[in-house]
Chain A
Amino acid sequence: MVTLAGVTKQYNGHPALVDISLTVADGEFLSLLGPSGCGKTTLLRLIGGFERCTKGSVLIDGRDTDGVPPERRAVNTVFQNYALFPHMTVFDNVAFGLRMANRPRDEIAAAVNGALDLVQLHGMAARRPAELSGGQQQRVAIARAIVNKPRVLLLDEPLSALDHRLRKQMQKELKQLQRTLGITFILVTHDQDEAFAMSDRVVVMQQGRIEQIGSPREIYEEPVNLYVARFVGDINVLAGVIREKIGPNLYTALVEGVTVQLRSDRPLSLAQPVHILLRPEDFRLAVEDAATPARELPGTIRHAGLKGTVRRIFYHGATYDVEVSLENGTRIQVTEFFDEDSDTLSCTPGDRVTLGWHEGWEVVLPHEE
């Protein structure tokens, strides 16, 4: 549907995008995720036709789009600040694209009302944008874009101006809308929750380059480098050295002073320094008290026996975060779910604990400086 082939964009010799290659499938929901200034909006503007590539090409439906202005592309954009025309009613805003295409009057009226129904703005047609709430303006912007039946819809941080609850709701509605319409959505966002909740695939970007492309689950569970791992949620990075290869994809390593088994798909050599990446929720902890000096962890997480002391506990309602410091000073964040059988927290600051993680949930990366 949309193919980027070696796209490079420079502003006054300053690179904004470097050699980006990417194919977006028909009907896919793709997110471009990254911090501000990583080039994601520039990429969207290249597809929309507002900028021209310095090198490489953007293909839409297999055709090179170089020099094709925005008004002659089968893509529509939902702009970050909605960019609704303040001097037109909601109806005229939504009808704008069809009028520019010289469609017959009755067809326009039917299409506009259909689009307004789809975004649940029935009865708002005669209002001006200034008379609508932020969420309603957002819906008008979406209706105005989809009424033209584009092959690709580009969304530039469309939900960033909405409050938390409305944002959650609009995420669901956007996803629903994309399924209903069956068109390709390319969403730019800096919010990993948003990208994960809606997308089929996520492109993680940094400084004009693509760091990783994959399903939300791949990105979260198998990040290819420390940057991606850190950008998409909290992560614990442990230092380790490979000791021995004990089977296919199976190694022993010294991690934070404890010998553990590691599973890794990438080949590792002996004595190689590595990072072991673990999400806070991958850990389980067991408190050592006077009665049971070394309480056992459940079978599948027994193999890693890191020892530490509970420092702080943060209560979050359904979960609580425990900050543990290991004997060598490394801090680890653990997220635990409340034990259904007990209504109190199972540990308090100062407790000695044993930490383990689910076997095979670790991600092992070669050491990065």
Chain B
Amino acid sequence: MSRWLHRGYAGCVYAFLYLPLVVVAVFSFNSSKYSLAWKGFTLDWYVRLWQNSGLMTTAFNSLLIAAASATLATLLGTVAAFVLHRYRFPGRRTLFGTLFVMMMSPDIVIALSLLLLFLALSLPLGFSTLLLAHTVLCVPFVATTVFSRFVGFPDDLVDAARDLGAGEYQVFRHIVLPLASPAVAGGWLLSFTLSLDDVIISFFTTGPDFEVLPLRIYSMVRLGIKPDVNALCVVMMAVTVTALVLSKHLLKEKK
């Protein structure tokens, strides 16, 4: 009896969480164009998606910005984590704190402040501003992920490397980076997904000549939900889930 209750309860939770995604996925294979009734299985929407060159450009933009900002954020975040771990300097605690502030701040606040900054600097909104914005969004996530890896890291390895003649850069290159690499890769994938599905910050910080997928979908949906949007969502979901699974796998403690 109680076993059924447990299962029923768990079922409800999973349904609540994942039913919307399942619905989108199911309708992306529905051959009916307007009605919600099931009219048979089709891959037409995926084909149309592939043939829609405007949409494909937008998708490419999204992947480009995600990859570029993830890479930039990983570089900055890893160095930041190393510096925060290895050195004691005035303002270290403050710097460490701001990472968490950045992670906790509502996207809308970050978006608005970045927009104001870009306008003040009179930077034209487009690829470069969006790249900067997404990098800012991702750096704290990389820094904290990599930092937590360093915490479990024996200090004497660094001492040993220096004892054997390695300078600061060589210690970083040959000891710290290889040992932190799972966390670095995990941080990159996390950043990639953060950038890929961000709407609010993108909405504020990109210009009309550089459109990304979430914004495109948003404007498409305003004209009514079309099945090709469903197909697009399923593709994005697949990319995101793959990246997350990979990053989880990399961050798992290895014996």
The residues of A that contact B36 with a CB separation of less than 8 Å are none
Chain A positions within 8 Å of B159 at CB level = 48, 50, 70, 77, 79, 83
Q: How far is the CA of A49 from the CA of B159 in the complex (A)?
A: 10
Residue in A closest to B164 when the chains form the complex, CB atoms: A97
> With A79-B156, A100-B170 known to touch, is A85 a contact of B162 (CB < 8 Å)?
no
Q: Cβ of B166 and Cβ of A83 under 8 Å apart?
A: no
Chain B residues with CB under 8 A of A96? 161, 164, 166, 174
- Say yes or no for A190: interface residue by CB 8 A criterion: no
Interface size range on A against B: 20 to 34
Most buried by B among A72, A96, A97: A96
Closest to B166 in A: A100
Q: A83-B154, A85-B157, A85-B160 are in contact. Are A101 and B165 (CB under 8 A)?
A: yes
Given A85-B175, A87-B178, A100-B170 in contact, is the A70-B156 Cβ separation under 8 Å?
no
* Cβ–Cβ < 8 Å partners of A101 in chain B: 165
Known A-B contacts A83-B156, A83-B157, A85-B157; A76 and B179 likewise in contact (beta carbons under 8 Å) = no
In the assembled complex, B11 has its CB within 8 A of some CB on chain A: no
B163 on the interface (CB 8 Å rule)?
yes
For A49, list chain B residues within 8 Å (CB): 162
State whether the Cβ of B167 lies closer than 8 Å to any Cβ in chain A: yes
Instruction: Tell me the complex Cα distance, A81–B170, Å.
Output: 22
- Bound CA–CA A80/B159 (angstroms): 12
A148, B160: Cβ atoms closer than 8 Å: no
For the side of the interface on B, what is the size category? 10 to 19
Q: CA A260 – CA B5 in complex, angstroms?
A: 92
Determine if A86 and B164 form an interchain contact, defined as CB atoms under 8 angstroms apart. Answer: no
Chain A residues lying within 8 Å of B164, measured Cβ to Cβ, are 71, 76, 96-97, 100, 144-145, 148
Tell me the dominant secondary structure on chain B's binding face. Answer: helix
Chain B residues in 8 Å Cβ range of A77:
159-160, 163
Does A123 sit within 8 A of B, measured CB to CB?
no
Chain B, residues 149-184, CB within 8 Å of chain A (1/0): the string is 000001011011111111100100011001100000
Q: Is A37 an interface residue (CB 8 A)?
A: no
| Closest Cβ–Cβ distance, residue A323 to chain B (whole Å) | 44
Q: Is A69 an interface residue (CB 8 A)?
A: yes
Cβ contact within 8 Å between A76 and B163: yes
B179 touches A71 (CB 8 A): no
Q: How far is the CA of A70 from the CA of B159 in the complex (A)?
A: 8
Complex interface: chain B residues within 8 A of A100 (CB): 164-166, 170
Closest Cβ–Cβ distance, residue B52 to chain A (whole Å): 46
A87 to B160, CA, bound (A): 14
User: Given the known A-B contacts A85-B175, A87-B178, A100-B170, are A71 and B156 also in contact in the complex, defined by CB atoms under 8 Å?
Assistant: no
Tell which of A71, A80, A145, A148 touches B162, judged by Cβ atoms closer than 8 Å. A71
A97–B156 touching, CB < 8 Å = no
Chain A hits for B166, CB < 8 A: 71, 96, 100
A87 to B154, CA, bound (A): 13
CA gap between A86 and B163 in the complex, in Å: 17
Give the complex CA separation of A100 and B163 in angstroms. 11
Interfacial chain A residues near B154, Cβ < 8 Å: 81, 83
> Which residue in chain B gives the minimum CB-CB distance to A86?
B179
1/0 per residue, CB under 8 A from B, across A95-138: the answer is 01100110000000000000000000000000000000000000
- In the A-B complex, list the 5 residue pairs whose CB atoms are closest, starting with the nearest: A97-B164, A83-B160, A100-B165, A83-B156, A70-B162
- With contacts A81-B156, A85-B157, A85-B161 known, what are 19 further pairs, Cβ within 8 A? A48-B159, A49-B162, A70-B159, A70-B163, A71-B162, A71-B166, A72-B165, A77-B160, A80-B156, A83-B154, A83-B156, A85-B160, A85-B175, A96-B161, A96-B164, A96-B166, A96-B174, A100-B165, A100-B170
What is B's interface to A at a CB cutoff of 8 Å?
Answer: 154, 156-157, 159-167, 170, 174-175, 178-179
A/B interface sample: 11 pairs, CB < 8 A: A48-B159, A69-B162, A69-B167, A71-B163, A71-B166, A79-B156, A83-B159, A85-B161, A97-B164, A100-B164, A148-B165
